[in-house]
Amino acid sequence: MIRKSAILGCILVFAVLPVVAQFSVEVKKMPLPEKEGRYYLDVRVTKNGKMLDSIYRQYYSYDEMYQQGDSLGLIIAGKLVKFLSDTSLCGKPVKAYGNDDYPGCYNVKPHSERFTIGMEAMFIINRVVYSPLTFRLGCYPVLFDEVTGKELNDNHRQIQSVAERYKQWYKEFKSRKKAPDYEMLKKGQIKWWGTGRIAPAPL
């Protein structure tokens, strides 16, 4: 009986290995040549020799990665959480990256003109793990206080408080091997721009 169990275990291991081995995942912080001192996070996933989202990932669109399921999402998130405390500036433009049919992304535009690499890491996590629901998490790489309406892209203390939320989210994801409900990333009054009602900032 023990021998049969051991053989079955070996079969299961060898059955899983090809699935894991078919992915190559890299997340690198790259300089943006046209903007000195600015960077971006390059997420490259290759499956069986083919790069996923080869064109659209530059627009924070990762549908092909999302379709591979939570096992790949967990690997990518694990590489991105290492950048959550990075305060260097991202060179990507502050604009709506979202569902054109969702009015929450476009009814009020933010004033922020820059965001950090740490924020970009969180923004990418939203889009890799919850691709069809990202418009509910927010369309702009802009954090704001839902109560005051104040934008927080230059407030490193507040950005870090959101990063701690993502670290807890990742800890649960890693433990369960299943992505937690996206609502976990919306807790508290600091949210991504476009996630819902936006109060006017005080004068």
Average pLDDT along the chain, 203 residues, taken 10 residues at a time: 45 40 90 94 94 89 94 98 98 85 73 98 97 84 94 98 98 97 93 70 47
**pLDDT the model gives residue 197:** 53
**Structural domain tally of the chain?**
1
User: Is residue 17 assigned to a domain?
Assistant: no
Q: Using alpha carbons only, how large is the chain's radius of gyration in Å?
A: 19
Q: What gap in Å lies between CA 108 and CA 116, rounded to an integer?
A: 22
User: Is residue 15 assigned to a domain?
Assistant: no
User: Is residue 160 assigned to a domain?
Assistant: yes
The DSSP element (H or E) to which 143 belongs, if any, is strand 143-145
User: Is residue 11 assigned to a domain?
Assistant: no
User: Is residue 30 assigned to a domain?
Assistant: yes
How many Å from the N-terminal Cα to the C-terminal Cα in the chain?
75
**pLDDT the model gives residue 80:** 99
Phi then psi dihedrals of residue 176, to 5 deg: -90, -20
In which domain, by residue range, is 98 found? Answer: 23-192
Centroid of chain to Cα 194: 16
**pLDDT the model gives residue 136:** 81
Q: What gap in Å lies between CA 70 and CA 113, rounded to an integer?
A: 33
Which amino acid belongs to residue 151?
A: E
CB 121 within 8 A of CB 41: yes
**pLDDT the model gives residue 170:** 99
> Could you tell me which residues are beta bridge partners of residue 116?
89
User: Is residue 57 assigned to a domain?
Assistant: yes
**What pTM was computed for the model?**
0.85
User: Is residue 3 assigned to a domain?
Assistant: no
Select from 68, 47, 197, 184 the least CA-distant residue to 126.
Answer: 184
**pLDDT the model gives residue 14:** 35
User: Is residue 14 assigned to a domain?
Assistant: no
Helices 70-80 and 156-176, packing angle to 10 deg: 140
> Could you tell me which residues are beta bridge partners of residue 39?
31, 90
